[in-house]
Amino acid sequence: MSAVLSMPDGYYKALKRLASEVAGVALEDDYKFTIETRLSVLARMEGYPSLIEMVQSMFKSGDSRLAIKIVASMLVRDTHFFRDKQSLLGLPDFILPKLHAIYGPRPIKVLIVGCNSGQEAYSAAILADKLKQDELPDLNVEFTAIDYPSQALEQAKAGRFTHFDVQRGLAVRDMLSYFTKLGEDWVMNESIRNMITFRETHLLRLPNDLGQYHVIICRDVLSRFQAKVRIAFTRKIAAHVKSQGYLLIGSDEDLPKTVHPWIAPGGPDFVYQRAKTEEELRAEEAAARAARKLLHPDPKRFFEDKEAVMEVMAEGASGEMECRSA
């Protein structure tokens, strides 16, 4: 392989350092050939005569837009529909039924981290659609899928796949049900595309306006981060999960064994739930205390005591407010 590589070792080392600093990912040395191929494609698209000149230009100018594009194209993974299906089935088999029991027809918001060229998000949406058709007709799931800006993300937005893509991991009946043939390509049907919003996002700098979700799907992402980044990221994404929301990781992945707000809810090994914060627990206790007082052994006497009634109502209201603000 090394005979066909044109990029000097020094450049590769500099790019590895860049990937580590920008995305917290440690690239392996045996990845050189793939990276060089991808960067050559990017160089052509960006109008550079060669990838060497593109890399030189990026380091000389410090062009952060180009730096992120270079890192993103180095990080693109070879993926397919329903990759690691065992773990993905945790969504329709465990998580969505539990959330539907709480929220009914109200929207259940799912964030997909590291959506790559879209197969992960579309697979999850197909599973949610099947669950809705087969068991939960009023299920309402909204997906947001995020990744670095890249050609892969543009493909995800277009929902357009080659005949090779739609044959990897996808049963032929699903291909016919969920795709429309357009020329030589296959385009995801609008009903599924409308369930997903794709968004360019720097994964290590999640913006505050990303919002909060009932579920975060983060598969084959954590395991690629360096250890320190993995711990920080696991904590950071918790801020984007609603109280007792879920985190779904890969079936061969583990969460870092450090203090973090995730607990095992007793389902599959790769499903975690965000533990309640101390603030949430205090608010719940206050609400429970208020409820207990309302169940006074002698309601007649209790309601004669106007002061007690006022106190209980005030406590209940304050508990409710804390719950809301939390």
Partner 1 sequence: MSRSCLIVDDSRMVRRVAGRIIRELDFDLAEAENGQEAMDQCRMKMPDAILLDWKMPVMDGLSFLKRLRKEPGGDQPVIVFCTAERDVYKIAEALDAGANEYVMKPFDSDVIQSKFFEAGLLG
Smaller CB separation from partner 1, 171 or 288 = 171
Contact between 276 and partner 1 per CB under 8 A: no
Binders of partner 1 in range 62-81 (CB under 8 A): 80
Candidates 28-36, 50-58, 164-172, 291-299: pick the segment binding partner 1 (CB under 8 A): 164-172
Cα 137–Cα 138–Cα 144 angle in degrees, nearest 5: 110
Inter-residue contact 188 to 129 (CB < 8 Å):
no
Is residue 300 at the binding interface for partner 1, with CB under 8 A as the rule? no
Torsion of CA 59, 60, 62, 66, to 10 degrees: -60
Binding piece for partner 1, criterion CB under 8 A, among 114-122, 176-184, 236-244, 317-325: 176-184
Give the residue with the Cβ less far from partner 1, 162 or 226. Answer: 162
Span from 37-45, 97-105, 127-135, 173-181 in contact with partner 1 (CB under 8 A): 173-181
Q: Mask 76-115, x = binds partner 1 (CB under 8 A)?
A: ----x-----------------------------------
Among 167, 189, 251, 318, contact with partner 1 (rule: CB under 8 A): 167
Among 176, 264, 310, 317, binds partner 1 (CB under 8 A): 176
Distance separating alpha carbons of residues 313 and 129, to the nearest angstrom? 43
Binding residues for partner 1 restricted to 179-198, rule: CB under 8 A? 181, 184
Given the rule CB under 8 A, which of 144-152, 165-173, 256-264, 318-326 is the region that contacts partner 1? 165-173
Give 29-37 contacts, CB < 8 A, sequence gap 24+.
32/1, 32/2, 32/5, 32/7, 33/1, 33/4, 33/5, 35/74, 36/5, 36/6, 36/7
Provide DSSP, 170-182.
Answer: --HHHHHHHEEEE
In angstroms, the CA 67 to CA 57 distance is 10
Residue 172, interface with partner 1 (CB under 8 A)?
yes
- Smallest gap from Cβ 176 to partner 1, in A, equals 6
**Which residues does 322 contact at the CB level (< 8 Å), separation at least 6?**
279, 282, 283, 286
Running DSSP on this structure, what letter comes out for residue 221?
S
Q: How far is the CB of 83 from partner 1 (least distance, A)?
A: 11
| Torsion angle defined by CA atoms of residues 278, 281, 282 and 286, in that order, rounded to the nearest 10 degrees | 180
Fill in the amino acid letter for 118.
Answer: G
Q: In the complex, which residues of this chain contact partner 1 (CB under 8 A)? A: 80, 163-164, 167-173, 176, 181, 184
